[in-house]
Amino acid sequence: MMDSPRTNLLKARPRGLLPAPAMDEEGSVDRTDTGQAQVRQAWRALRSIPLEPSRLSDRRIVTLERRDPAHVAFDIMRTRMLKTMGENNWRRVGVTSPTAGCGKTMVCANLAFSLAHHLECRVALLDLDLSRTSLADLFGVGQAPSMARFLQGRSAVEDVFLRHADNLALGLNGCTESFTTEILHGRQTGSALETLERTLEPDIMLIDLPPQRTSDELLAFLPHLDCILLVAAAGVSTVYEIDTCERELDEESHLLGVVLNKCHEPGGR
């Protein structure tokens, strides 16, 4: 049985609503029947990939099949997240950690599957920790495409994103990059994210981002986010690191909450 993450989730203190991602008139979302048919066709055009439940379970992904009681903590986190994001008209949520080794990618994956169990909720999971291939490795997807190429406008949505079930799009990164700050901060990155939103119309974009204290990559990407979730780990993150990261994120963005991972419940295994 996996340890349940403890959450101080959604204690966010919004300082006013963050507007929905801007789109120009030409690229505005089409809510007509024809537009929705095009969105459904775009989802069907994504290559469907089979996932191995046993592999994911071995890697602490408990929300795909929901057999481990630990999935409940993620489902609660999901529901609170949807409530706050809906109230504030937020769509893009980043997930970071103070340092590497806190389990942010595991939290991202569990949240993505939990969200996708709401069949009316379209979810896009993006790996933008571009110096690593964490999500592709986690899912066992070899030869995953380059998310950097997508952000630079050099690859189309249907060439990069994979699909699980009918409502979870997976943007897995298969190529490690150097000097990723310039990519994440680039104007083309904003355009690529808007293209993704126009094409697939995800209700939630869940974005796995670099650790906060190891580089300036996260800071470069913050303008593209509506809110952010901080994942810390017992025995890995210090109180100072958590407090510092929480304060900085609350100043620069809308802090959705803090998840304490790898903690043992009293009386648990």
State yes or no: pLDDT of 250 exceeds 90. Answer: yes
Arithmetic mean of pLDDT, 90-108? 97
pLDDT digits (tens, 9 = 90+) for 63-94: 999 999 999 999 999 999 999 999 999 999 99
The least confident of 30-44, 143-157, 181-195, 212-226 is 30-44
Q: Are strands 92-96 and 168-171 parallel, antiparallel or unpaired?
A: unpaired
Q: Rounded to 5, what percent of the chain is helix, strand, coil? A: 40, 15, 45
Which residue shows structure tokens 């070899």?
A: 142
Q: CA-CA distance, 20 to 79, in Å (whole number)?
A: 20
Arithmetic mean of pLDDT, 211-227? 96
Residue 262 is predicted with a pLDDT of 77
Supply the pTM of this predicted model.
0.88
Residue 197 is predicted with a pLDDT of 98
Angle ∠(249,19,95) on CA atoms, nearest 5: 35
Q: Domains in the chain, please, with CATH?
A: 35-261 (3.40.50.300)
> How are strands ordered across the β-sheet holding 6-9?
6-9, 255-261, 227-233, 92-96, 204-208, 123-127, 168-171, 162-164, 47-48
Q: Are strands 123-127 and 204-208 parallel, antiparallel or unpaired?
A: parallel
Residue 23 is predicted with a pLDDT of 39
Query: Which two structure tokens, joined as six digits, stand for 217?
Result: 């990559």
Q: How confident is the model at residue 32 (pLDDT cuts 50, 70, 90)?
A: confident
Which residue shows structure tokens 């104007």?
A: 187
Instruction: Work out the widest C-alpha separation in the chain, in whole angstroms.
Output: 58
pLDDT digits (tens, 9 = 90+) for 194-216: 999 999 999 999 999 999 999 99
